[in-house]
Amino acid sequence: MPRTLWWENNQLKMIDQRILPLTYDVLTYDDHVAVAQAITDMVVRGAPAIGAAGAFGMALAAQRSPARDRDSLLADLTSAKKTLDAARPTAVNLSWATSRIMDYVGGLVLPNVDDLRSAIVAEAQRIADEDVEINRRMGAFGAEIVPQGANILTHCNAGSLATVDYGTTLGVVRAASEQGKQVHVWVDETRPRLQGARLTAWELMHDEIPMTLIADNAAGMLMRLGKVQVVLYGADRVAANGDVANKIGSYKLAVLAKENGIPCYSVVPTPTIDLALAHGDLIPIEERGAEEVTMVGVERIAPEGVPVYNPAFDVTPHRYLTGIITEEGICYPPFEISLRKAVEAAEARRQRKN
C-alpha cells in the first residue's frame, strides 16, 4: 500500500478515505483551497496526515501564487495558511505544519521567488518523511509496554491511513507484531463515521494481524471479563498537562480502563503536543453535521428533523492515562515536565538533522 498522501508532478495525491474499504481511489489536488476542503470533508483524516496535507497545501499555494517578489509570495502564503488552518480546528498538527512552512520561508534568503517555491516543496516533503520516521520510533518505544500475547483495544483509526505511513497506535501494534509478540486487537467500530470498522479493520487484515471488530459498547464488558490487557489510542491535540483530545468515545474507554485496572496510553507524535494550552478544556472541539449521526452511508436511521449533537472529539483528563507514548520515549506523570522534555528533545533532533 502506498503512502496516504504524496507529492507527484507538482500535485498532491491523497487516498480517498471516505470510500474505503469498499473502493480504493486516489484523488489529485492542485490548489490549497481544494486541499482545505478535502481536510474538512475527511478525504484525509488523522492529525499527522492532516498536518502533512496542510504542508503540501502550502506548497500548492506557493506554486499557484502569481507573486513575483518575496513579500507578495509571503502575503499569499499567509492567506493560504488561514484557509488551511480553519479546515479542522482540533488537530493541532495542521497549524503546526503550516506555521513551520511560514517560519521556514521567513528564514530563507534566496535570489528569486521560484527558488522559494522549490524550497517550500522540499520542506513539505521533509515534514512528510519525518512523520514516517517519527511513527517508527513511537512504535519501537510503545512495543515495550505491550505484553506477549496481549489483547489490545483500539479506538478510531490511528494507523498508516491517519499518518503519512506506518501509524501511531497501529505503529505500536505493528512493532509488537514484528517482534513476534502474537498480539490480538479488539477494534472499536467508532461511531459515527466508523473509522475503526472501515479503516483499522482493513489495515490490520491487510497486515494479517489478528483482530476482532466490536461494537463500541462491547468494550466495557471485554475489560470486565479480563479480555483486554492494554488500551491504546491516538490524539488530535495534547495539552501541556497531559489532557488528550481524541475521537469521541476515547474518554469513556480511559475511565473504563482505570476502573478495571487496565493500562491506557495515548500514542502521540510531538507535533500533536500543544504546550501553549495549559489544560484540555482549552482545546477547541469540532462539531460536525447531523447527517453523520442520522445516516449510515446513504441510509437514514433516525427520524427526519431529529435534534443531533455531534462533537467529533472528547478530552481525556490526564489522570486516566498511564502514559503518553512519543517518538522520544514514553512520558509519565507529571506530564507538564515529561511532555515538555519530549518536545524539546524532538526539536533538538530535528535541528541536528537539518
Residue ranges and CATH numbers for the domains of the chain are 5-135 (1.20.120.420), 140-353 (3.40.50.10470)
pLDDT of 337: 98
Burial of 270 (0-12, 13-18, 19+ CB in 10 A): buried
Taking each helix axis as running N to C, give the angle between helix 47-64 and helix 32-41, from 0 to 180 degrees, rounded to the nearest 10: 160
Cβ-in-10-Å burial (0-12, 13-18, 19+) of 180 comes to: exposed
Instruction: Supply the pLDDT for residue 47.
Output: 94
pLDDT tens track, the chain, 354 positions: 789 999 999 999 999 999 999 999 999 999 999 999 999 999 999 999 999 999 999 999 999 999 999 999 999 999 999 999 999 999 899 999 999 999 999 888 887 899 999 999 999 999 999 999 999 999 999 999 999 999 999 999 999 999 999 999 999 999 999 999 999 999 999 999 999 999 999 999 999 999 999 999 999 999 999 999 999 999 999 999 999 999 999 999 999 999 999 999 999 999 999 999 999 999 999 999 999 999 998 899 999 999 999 999 999 999 999 999 999 999 999 999 999 999 999 999 988 887
Tell me what pLDDT residue 349 has. Answer: 93
Contact predicate 93/47, CB 8 Å: yes
Q: Are 131 and 162 in contact (CB under 8 A)?
A: no
CA 70 to chain centre: 32
Contact 112, 67 (CB under 8 A): no
Q: How far apart are CA 250 and CA 155, in angstroms?
A: 7
State how far Cα 296 lies from the chain centre: 23
Question: Residues 85, 236, 274, 314: which is the catalytic one?
Answer: 236
Burial class of 161 by CB neighbour count within 10 A (0 to 12, 13 to 18, 19+): buried
At a CB cut-off of 8 Å and minimum separation 6, what does 86 contact? 36
pTM, to two decimals: 0.95
Residue showing cell 519501537: 140
The whole-number pLDDT of residue 350 equals 87
Q: Tell me whether residue 236 is one of the annotated catalytic residues.
A: yes
SS (H, E, C) the chain: CCCCEEEECCEEEEECCCCCCCCCCEEEECCHHHHHHHHHHCCCCCHHHHHHHHHHHHHHHHHHCCCCCHHHHHHHHHHHHHHHHCCCCCCHHHHHHHHHHHHHHHCCCCCCHHHHHHHHHHHHHHHHHHHHHHHHHHHHHHHCCCCCCCEEEECCCCCHHHCCCCCCHHHHHHHHHHCCCCCEEEEECCCCCCHHHHHHHHHHHHCCCCEEEECHHHHHHHHHCCCCCEEEECCCEEECCCCEEEECCHHHHHHHHHHCCCCEEEECCHHHEECCCCCHHHCCCCECCCHHHHEECCEECCCCCCCCCCECEEEECHHHCCEEEECCEEECCCHHHHHHHHHHHHHHHHHHHC
